[in-house]
Structure 1
Amino acid sequence: MKVVAFNRTLQGTGASRRLRKAGQTPGIIYGGAGTPELIALDGNALWHALKKEAFHGSVLDLEIDGKTQQVLLRDFQMHAFKQLVLHADFQRVDSSKPVHTKVAFHFVNAENSPAVKLNSAVISHVLNELEVSCLPGQLPEFIEVDLANLEAGNSIHTDDLVLPEGVTALTHGQNLTIVTATIPRGAVTAEETPAAE
């Protein structure tokens, strides 16, 4: 994804307030070999971009004065009730060095799992994203979690995932629970239903 930004020289609360009134969002780019750069972005375009999952989990091409650099969105602040992005932080990435970032899970086939079809189990998402390490070019937009074989009373853990090539989960030696299937109290499963007389 491509992002267009502009250099800004003024900083401080007053300057940022004036930028926002003009429809722009103040931001910063840091990291890598370069010095931190103060930037301004189109506030409306940024607000719409933040609604897209790919914007949060992809390497972005950020263009300033015709020059493009690769960055990751690291942080942003939203106004409490207005349709307004207050600030955005981007980190430069080097295509030859691994990046550490969080990637969202996409859960598929829940309605086809034995837990749901046979036992009317409730699927609970314990984690919605995973911290990973990989080269920028190998960063996946999302990680798919297939629930097709999930049985009632069972869970899926990080060790059960098949990650894309070159992607390593940063779980610090823990086998984290991603999703669980539990039968609600008082529910009758397909096996327990009495036969018709």
Structure 2
Amino acid sequence: MTSRLVLVSPAIGPALREARFYDGSSSIDEAGAARARAAAGTLPDAARVVLSPGARCRETAEALRLRGGVAAELGPLDAGRWRGRTLAEVGSAEGEAVARWLADPDCAAPGGESVREVCARVGRWLESVPEGRTVAVVEPEVVRAAVVHALGLPAGAFWRLDVAPLTATELSGRAGRWNLRLGRPLGGE
């Protein structure tokens, strides 16, 4: 039997609009919640629902009328001491460090985790996905990491994958071989 995984990115909120390093507490805004409520019922039925631990994933799932458990291994990329700050703020203060972090998948934000580490963490989880359909409401970087792992892409491809808010990215496969259906808007065909 095939494993089917639908990765849903969270609805829009201030942190996404501001390109702010996620700190786990940022919420979706009313416009994002309204879009998610309008998309409720458009996802296929699933045997299980899992969530990234952050507030915006929980709020998006609630607006979509999904109930599931939190999976710590699906947490966002840990930005260390940059958490809560905008990319522009950090770039102004630590331009060279940000440039290294964006260019080298082995470079972690100070006190944080590297792209390669998040790809490995999410990849381990991905390989444990059981048969049947799973819906996961997860941070955009978790979607990127899952795609990098599933397709065997180099970790450097991570930042080249754009994940729009409130889209579904679908992976299906068995025995470690995954196929990809890219980011359809929820509520669309």
Normalised by the size of structure 1, how large is the TM-score? 0.27
- Name the one with the larger helix percent: 2
- Name the one with the larger strand percent: 1
Larger C-alpha radius of gyration, 1 or 2?
1
Normalised by the size of structure 2, how large is the TM-score? 0.28
Determine which structure has greater relative contact order: mean sequence separation of CA pairs < 8 Å that are 6+ residues apart, divided by chain length.
Answer: 2
